[in-house]
Amino acid sequence: MKSLSSYYFLYYLAMSVYLPYMSIYFSDRGFSSTQVGMIFSLLAFVSVIAQPIMGLLNDRTSDPRKILLLCISVAPILSLGFYYMGSLTAIMALSIVYAWFQSSAGPISDSLANDIGNREGFSFGSIRLWGALSYSLGTLGTGFLYGKIGYDNIFFAYLVISLALVFTIFYLPKVKPSPHKTKLFDQAKEVLHNKPFVLFVGICLLVNLCMSMNFTFLPLYFKEMAFDKKWLGTAFAIAAIVEVPMFYISAKLGKRLGQFNVLCMVAVLNAFRYILIYTFHNVYLVLALQVVDGITFAFFASLAVEVVGGYASERTKATFQAIFAAIAYGLGSILGSSAGGVIIDYKGAPALYLVLFFVSMVAGLLFFISKHALQKTADKAPPFISA
């Protein structure tokens, strides 16, 4: 548990020093909102392809840590190219290779942590909260720092922290691969024939589409509303701080209220937040509503991983996690980034949040009316272990 906690702490600390600022970094370099959306859409598109393939390979390797080590080592080195390349074409080309490794690390990490947690007797949320803690510390500090010195050095900071992260991988417990080796076609077939899983992924796609659009374009909302950008890091930090206790209680709350009831609540609370941001253009309200962002993200990220683990068999755990991440997070980011940039360029940033309100309400309704169908396979999963 200590080694996993250290890994997640450094992993999300590395994310915190550059990921929240990528959109404003490219915007400050002169790219339009539509072009920023194109870059993020390409990053997400590559992840849709990369994550299932890397997940399949991870399920078949003798040591699941090997591919994780490759991803964690290569991605920060490639990210330095964003600093040295100035043209949109070059950045788009680099994004293809960078996103292949960067996007694959998350679902592989979650699959590994979930397996170890089930074996050792602790919940995924009790590990993931350390990532939320480090993310809050990182965004809080870098928000004020970058506000003074600019955003040019975000990828160098990412590289430095990633060097320390690499060493923690060697201390992660080894998980034995499944002894039941199957063909890649059979693994893919198992996923497609699991109808509750496919339905679950589809609804989660809508939820994360909204969260991804908000995460990507909140900095541009700040910029259009002429808010002081020093509060941008604070906004992300508030959400991440709230995530820490929410990750801890997510498994218990999901068990008490029902996982799909909680996920329905996540979508509705997000819709409530988006309509308030659309209606009232006040930086302090946005900061206050980041509390809701932290609650909903923690519940969604924690419970979704455990639900997906319940749908998978022993031989396809990483495969299911990777496909879920590729569609819910990857495809959601593609649609969100491409559409969000266009909406902002033509209708303005506030209009984006009106769209997010309607999509989130649809997701909440779908969770509510489909929860019995979704539960059919998830009921077969072993009971979740509280922290």
pLDDT over 50 (residue 354): yes
pLDDT over 80 (residue 270): yes
Residue given tokens 């893919």 in the structure block = 188
Residue 193 and residue 188: Cα distance in Å, rounded? Answer: 9
Question: Which tens digits make up the pLDDT trace of 198-229?
Answer: 889 899 999 989 998 888 888 889 888 988 87
What are the phi and psi torsion angles at 50 (to 5°)? -70, -45
Q: Which amino acid is at 176?
A: K
pLDDT over 80 (residue 385): no
| pLDDT bracket for residue 384 (50, 70, 90) | very low
Q: Which amino acid is at 263?
A: L
pLDDT over 90 (residue 154): no
Question: In terms of Cα–Cα distance, which of 38, 99, 25 is closest to 335?
Answer: 38
12 touches 64 (CB < 8 A): no
pLDDT over 90 (residue 284): yes
Give pTM, 2 decimals.
Answer: 0.69
- Of 84-93, 146-155, 166-175, 355-364, highest mean pLDDT: 355-364
| pLDDT bracket for residue 23 (50, 70, 90) | confident
Handedness of CA 318, 297, 256, 360 (dihedral sign): negative
Tokens, residue 334: 């593609």
**Structural domain tally of the chain?**
1
Question: Which tens digits make up the pLDDT trace of 160-195?
Answer: 999 999 998 888 877 665 555 555 555 556 666 778
130 touches 2 (CB < 8 A): no
222 touches 350 (CB < 8 A): no
Residue 354 and residue 227: Cα distance in Å, rounded? Answer: 20
144 assigned to some structural domain: yes
pLDDT of residue 386: 33
287 assigned to some structural domain: yes
pLDDT over 70 (residue 274): yes
pLDDT of residue 62: 64
The string of DSSP codes covering 159-173 is HHHHHHHHHHHTTSP
Question: In terms of Cα–Cα distance, which of 250, 299, 252, 262 is closest to 375?
Answer: 262
Residue given tokens 């915190």 in the structure block = 16
124/70: higher pLDDT: 70
386 assigned to some structural domain: no
pLDDT of residue 382: 40
Q: How many angstroms from the chain centroid is the CA of residue 329?
A: 6
Q: Which of 36-45, 171-180, 256-265 has the lowest mean pLDDT?
A: 171-180
Residue 62 and residue 49: Cα distance in Å, rounded? Answer: 23
385 assigned to some structural domain: no
Question: In terms of Cα–Cα distance, which of 356, 225, 236 is closest to 287?
Answer: 236
Range of the domain at 44: 2-174+183-378
Provide mean pLDDT across the span 25-43.
Answer: 86
Q: How many CB atoms lie within 10 A of CB 277?
A: 23
267 assigned to some structural domain: yes
Residue 357 and residue 275: Cα distance in Å, rounded? Answer: 6
Q: How many CB atoms lie within 10 A of CB 173?
A: 14
pLDDT over 60 (residue 377): no
pLDDT over 70 (residue 8): yes
pLDDT over 60 (residue 48): yes
pLDDT of residue 328: 86
360 assigned to some structural domain: yes
17 touches 138 (CB < 8 A): yes
CATH number, domain with residue 256? 1.20.1250.20
Question: In terms of Cα–Cα distance, which of 102, 100, 79 is closest to 153?
Answer: 79
pLDDT of residue 387: 32
pLDDT of residue 381: 43
pLDDT over 90 (residue 271): yes
227 touches 237 (CB < 8 A): no
The string of DSSP codes covering 218-275 is HHHHHHHTT--THHHHHHHHHHHHHHHHHHHHHHHHHHHH-HHHHHHHHHHHHHHHHH
Q: List the helix and strand counts (H, then E) for the chain.
A: 16, 0
Q: What is the mean pLDDT of the chain?
A: 83
267 touches 367 (CB < 8 A): yes
384 assigned to some structural domain: no
331 assigned to some structural domain: yes
357 touches 271 (CB < 8 A): yes
Residue 131 and residue 125: Cα distance in Å, rounded? Answer: 10
